[in-house]
C-alpha cells in the first residue's frame, strides 16, 4: 500500500492507513484507540473531519478513502515514533540508594587510606598494614544494600505476577508504594468501554426511565422499535446494546427470527437518521427509524407542546452526558416505498440514552486510593459532559472542575503547574496534552502513575514514573511504553500493587536500617582498639568480617523481604519526594542502635582484658556478643512502631529458619574444634556464654522501650 491508493473499508475492519474519505455510506469509526472517545464518530466527505486513521475500527457502514499516509507518517506511527524521544528515568529510591552507597564507598576509601597509613608508619610492613586496612574497609562498605534492593525488587515482581500484574521493569515495583498521583484513563479503565442502554424517554408518558428498572409496555415498545431500526447482525456497540436489551425483555416472545428485512434506508440526512422495514410471512410489517433526535422530530407531525417536552427531555439527558437517539415508527402498506425515508408518515415514539457504564468496583477502588493519600486524576479524550457525568456517578473527588486539551496547551509553565494540582478532570486530551500533564506533575515533585490502553496514552505512559497498561484491551504501543501491565484490565489490582510497593519500601527500609545499625559496631570494634592502641588491636580479621556479613546478608534480604504489610500501611500518606532515603530521626535511631551495640561489644572487650583472657577468648566473646545482638536487632527492627511481642505473631516462617541456622552455625564455630581453631576462637563456658548473650540482648532490646513511649504518645494524641 502506498500514498494515493484507494482504501475500501467496511464494518468491523481495522483501518490500515491514514486517508481522506471520498465516498461513504452510513459510516462511523471507533477512534478510542487514538482519542479515548468511547462513542463511534460519524464521518463522511462533507464533514470537517473527513479523515480516517490507521489502527481505528469501522463501527458501521462502509467507505472509500484515498491513502494520505502510511507507516511512521500516520497519526499512529507518529505517536509510536515520539516514544523514542522520551528517556527512561531512575526511580526515586534507586537515586537515593545510589547516592547513599556512593557516600559510604567514599567514606570506606578514606578510612582505608587512613588506617593503612597509620599502621604503616607504626610497623613499616606494607602487607600487614593493607590487611588491617582492608578489614576495616570491608566492615564499612554496605554491599548488602544493593543485594537487598535487587532481591526485594525481583521477589516483589514475582509476587505481583501472581496477583495478575506483569512487571516489565522490576525497579518500578517499589515506586508504586510512593505514588502520590494516579492519572487514569476513563474509557476501559474507569468504564467498561462498551455502550450500555441507560435511559428511556417515552413521549406518551413524558417520563424518563432507567433501562434497568421494571419497564412498562410503552417503554418496552420503545426498546423494541429501536432494535428493529438497528442492523439484524449488529456490530455498532449501541446496536449491540439494543439487541441485548430486546433479548432480555422479550425472552419468551423474541420475534427476530420471524421477520425479514425487506427494505432499508441507510443513515442519511442532516441531521442523520436511518430506517429499516421488516415483514413476516403473514404480511405484518414493522417500519422502525432511529437517528438524531432532531431528525426524527423533523419528520414527525408534532405539536408545539410535544416539541417542548422532547427538547426538555433531551436537555435533561444531555446534562448527564448520555448519547441520545430519537426513535420513531411508521405505517406503510404499499410495496413501492418512497425514494427517501423522510417521506414516510412517522410517529415519534421516544428517546433512548446510552453511556459507557463505570466498572462495578470502581467506587471502592477510588476510596482505597483516597484512604492511602493518593490523588486521582482522570485524563481522557472523551468530552466534558460525559466524563463529568461518570465522575459524579462514581463519587470522584473534584468532578466539578475540568479543563480541555486545547485550553491546557495555551497555559504557560507556571499556570500549568498550578492547574494540574487544582484540577482532577482533564477532557478532550490528545497525546501531547497528556504528556504535558505528566511532566507538569513531575515538575511539582509528584510521583506519577499513569494508566491507559490506547495508542494516545503511549507517550504519557512512558514519561510517567509508573506506566500501567491494560492487558486485554491495551494496544501494543501502550504495553510497550508501560512498565506494568494489568492482565485483567482491573484498576483494583493497582490497589494491591500500591500496597505491595509500600510493603517493599517499608521492609527495604527496615533491612537497610538493620545493615547500618549492625555495621557501626563492626566498624568501631575494629577501629577503636586499633587507633587507641589497646592490648589486642587486631581483634577481627577479614575472615570474621566475611562471616558476619554472610549472616547479615540473608537476614536483611530474606527475613525482611518476607515480612507482612503492617496494618496501617494503606492509611498513611505517600512518602514525600526527597533525595534522602532516611529522615534524620530514622538515621539517628539507627546510629544510636549501632553505638549501643558497640558499647556492649567494647564492654565485653574490657571485661575480657580485666579478667586476663587471652586474645582468642576475647575475640570469641566479642564475636558471640555481636551475633547475639544481630539476632535481637533483627527481631526488634521488624517494626518501628509495634512491639516485639506483636511482631512475633507476624506470619513469617523465615524468621525462625534463618535465626535457627545462625545459632546452629555459631554453635559449630564455637564448639567444633577444627572450625574453632580456623577462626582463632576458643570454646566458651556457660558463664562466659551467658555474659555474651545477656550483653547482646540488652544492646538491642532497649529499642522496645522507645517504641513503647512512642505508642503511648500517639495514643494520647488520638485520645
Are both 92-164+496-570+580-718 and 175-192+359-487 of the same fold? no
What is the CATH architecture of 6-79? Distorted Sandwich (2.70)
C-alpha angle 550-554-558 in degrees, rounded to nearest 5: 175
For the entire predicted model, the pTM comes to 0.69
Answer yes or no: are the C-beta atoms of 198 and 322 closer than 8 Å: yes
Q: Tell me how long the chain is.
A: 719
Class of domain 92-164+496-570+580-718: mainly alpha
Is the pLDDT at 487 greater than 90? The verdict is: no
C-alpha angle 16-22-26 in degrees, rounded to nearest 5: 85
Cα dist. 598→42, 602, 688 in Å? 77, 6, 18
**Residue 137 has what pLDDT?**
67
Cα dist. 211→149, 223, 313 in Å? 53, 9, 15
Question: Quick one: fold of 197-355?
Answer: Calcium-transporting ATPase, cytoplasmic domain N (3.40.1110)
In the chain, what's the furthest Cα-to-Cα distance?
Answer: 123
Nearest to 697 by CA among 591, 559, 586, 596: 596
Is the pLDDT at 120 greater than 80? The verdict is: no
**What CA–CA distance (Å, rounded) separates 211 from 218?**
12
C-alpha angle 366-370-375 in degrees, rounded to nearest 5: 95
CA atoms within 13 A on the CB side of 247: 8
What are the pLDDT digits (tens) for 704-714? 999 898 888 87
Is the pLDDT at 579 greater than 50? The verdict is: no
Query: How, if at all, do strands 181-184 and 375-379 pair?
Result: parallel
What are the pLDDT digits (tens) for 349-408? 999 998 888 888 899 999 999 998 999 999 987 778 778 888 888 889 998 899 998 899
Rg (CA), the chain: 36
**What residue ranges do the domains of the chain occupy?**
6-79, 92-164+496-570+580-718, 175-192+359-487, 197-355
Helices 703-718, 584-610: crossing angle, 10 deg rounding: 150
**Residue 132 has what pLDDT?**
67
Which homologous superfamily does the CATH classification assign to the domain defined by 175-192+359-487?
A: HAD superfamily/HAD-like (3.40.50.1000)
What are the pLDDT digits (tens) for 211-233? 888 899 999 999 999 999 998 88
Q: DSSP labels for 132-185?
A: HHHHHHHHH--THHHHHHHHHHHHHHHHHHHTTEEESSTTHHHHGGG--EEEE-
Cα dist. 96→88, 155, 177, 438, 657 in Å? 17, 21, 15, 22, 31
Phi/psi of residue 541, each to 5°? Answer: -115, 170
C-alpha angle 414-83-378 in degrees, rounded to nearest 5: 55
Amino acid at each position: 500500500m502506498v500514498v494515493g491508493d484507494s482504501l475500501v473499508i467496511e464494518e468491523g475492519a481495522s483501518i490500515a492507513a491514514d486517508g481522506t474519505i471520498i465516498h461513504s455510506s452510513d459510516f462511523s469509526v471507533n477512534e478510542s484507540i487514538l482519542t479515548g472517545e468511547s462513542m463511534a464518530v460519524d464521518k463522511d466527505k462533507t464533514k470537517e473531519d473527513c479523515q480516517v486513521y490507521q489502527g481505528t475500527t469501522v463501527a458501521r457502514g462502509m467507505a472509500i478513502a484515498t491513502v494520505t499516509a502510511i507507516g511512521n507518517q500516520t497519526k499512529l506511527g507518529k505517536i509510536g515514533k515520539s516514544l523514542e524521544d522520551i528517556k527512561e528515568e531512575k526511580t526515586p529510591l534507586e537515586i537515593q540508594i545510589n547516592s547513599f552507597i556512593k557516600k559510604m564507598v567514599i567514606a570506606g576509601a578514606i578510612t582505608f587510606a587512613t588506617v593503612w597509613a597509620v599502621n604503616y608508619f607504626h610497623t613499616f610492613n606494607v602487607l600487614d598494614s593493607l590487611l588491617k586496612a582492608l578489614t576495616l574497609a570491608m566492615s564499612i562498605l554496605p554491599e548488602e544494600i544493593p543485594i537487598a534492593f535487587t532481591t526485594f525488587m525481583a521477589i516483589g515482581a514475582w509476587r505481583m505476577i501472581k496477583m495478575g500484574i506483569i512487571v516489565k521493569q522490576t525497579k518500578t515495583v517499589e515506586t508504586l508504594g510512593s505514588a502520590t498521583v494516579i492519572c487514569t484513563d476513563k474509557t476501559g479503565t474507569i468504564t467498561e468501554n462498551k455502550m450500555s442502554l441507560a435511559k428511556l424517554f417515552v413521549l406518551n408518558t413524558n417520563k424518563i426511565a432507567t433501562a434497568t428498572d421494571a419497564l412498562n409496555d410503552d417503554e418496552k415498545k420503545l426498546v423494541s422499535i429501536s432494535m428493529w431500526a438497528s442492523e439484524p447482525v449488529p456490530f455498532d456497540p449501541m446496536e449491540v446494546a439494543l439487541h441485548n436489551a430486546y433479548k432480555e425483555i422479550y425472552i419468551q416472545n423474541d420475534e427476530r427470527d420471524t421477520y425479514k428485512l425487506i427494505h432499508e434506508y441507510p443513515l442519511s440526512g442532516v441531521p442523520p437518521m436511518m430506517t429499516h422495514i421488516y415483514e413476516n410471512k403473514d404480511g405484518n410489517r414493522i417500519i422502525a427509524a432511529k437517528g438524531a433526535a432532531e431528525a426524527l422530530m423533523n419528520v414527525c407531525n408534532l405539536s408545539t407542546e410535544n416539541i417542548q417536552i422532547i427538547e426538555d427531555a433531551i436537555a435533561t439527558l444531555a446534562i448527564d452526558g448520555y448519547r441520545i437517539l430519537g426513535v420513531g415508527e411508521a405505517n406503510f402498506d404499499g410495496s413501492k416505498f418512497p425514494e427517501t425515508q423522510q417521506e414516510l408518515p412517522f410517529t415519534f415514539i421516544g428517546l433512548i440514552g446510552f453511556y459507557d457504564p463505570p466498572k462495578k468496583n470502581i467506587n471502592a477502588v477510588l476510596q482505597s486510593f483516597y484512604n492511602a493519600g493518593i490523588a486521582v486524576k482522570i485524563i481522557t479524550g472523551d468530552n466534558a459532559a460525559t466524563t463529568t457525568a461518570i465522575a459524579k456517578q462514581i463519587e470522584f473527588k473534584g468532578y466539578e472542575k475540568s479543563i480541555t486539551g486545547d485550553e491546557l496547551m495555551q497555559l504557560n509553565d507556571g499556570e500549568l503547574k498550578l492547574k494540574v494540582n487544582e484540577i482532577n478532570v482533564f477532557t478532550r486530551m490528545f497525546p501531547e496534552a497528556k504528556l504535558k500533564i505528566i511532566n507538569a506533575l513531575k515538575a511539582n515533585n509528584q510521583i506519577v502513575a499513569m494508566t491507559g490502553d490506547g495508542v494516545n496514552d503511549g507517550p504519557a505512559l512512558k514519561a510517567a514514573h509508573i506506566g500501567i497498561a491494560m492487558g486485554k484491551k491495551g494496544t501494543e504501543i501502550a504495553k510497550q511504553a508501560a512498565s506494568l501491565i494489568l492482565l485483567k484490565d482491573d484498576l483494583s489490582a493497582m490497589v494491591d500493587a500500591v500496597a505491595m510497593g509500600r510493603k517493599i519500601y517499608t521492609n527495604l527500609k527496615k533491612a537497610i536500617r538493620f545493615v547500618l545499625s549492625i555495621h557501626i559496631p563492626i566498624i568501631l570494634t575494629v577501629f577503636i582498639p586499633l587507633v587507641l592502641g589497646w592490648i589486642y588491636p587486631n581483634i577481627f580479621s577479614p575472615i570474621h568480617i566475611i562471616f558476619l556479613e554472610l549472616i547479615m546478608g540473608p537476614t536483611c534480604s530474606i527475613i525482611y523481604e518476607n515480612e507482612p504489610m503492617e496494618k496501617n500501611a494503606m492509611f498513611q500518606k505517600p512518602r514525600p519526594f526527597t533525595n534522602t532515603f532516611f529522615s534524620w530521626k530514622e538515621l539517628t535511631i539507627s546510629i544510636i542502635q549501632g553505638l549501643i551495640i558497640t558499647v556492649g561489644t567494647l564492654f565485653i572487650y574490657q571485661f575480657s582484658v580485666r579478667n586476663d583472657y587471652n586474645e582468642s577468648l576475647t575475640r570469641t566473646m566479642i564475636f558471640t556478643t555481636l551475633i547475639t545482638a544481630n539476632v535481637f536487632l533483627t527481631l526488634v527492627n521488624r517494626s518501628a512502631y509495634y512491639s516485639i511481642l506483636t511482631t512475633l505473631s507476624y506470619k513469617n516462617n523465615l524468621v525462625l529458619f534463618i535465626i535457627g541456622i545462625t545459632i546452629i552455625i555459631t554453635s559449630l564455630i564455637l564448639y567444633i574444634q577444627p572450625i574453632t581453631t580456623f577462626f582463632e576462637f576458643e570454646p566458651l563456658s556457660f558463664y562466659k556464654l551467658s555474659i555474651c548473650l545477656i550483653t547482646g540482648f540488652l544492646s538491642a532490646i532497649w529499642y522496645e522501650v522507645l517504641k513503647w513511649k512512642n505508642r503511648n504518645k500517639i495514643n494520647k494524641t488520638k485520645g
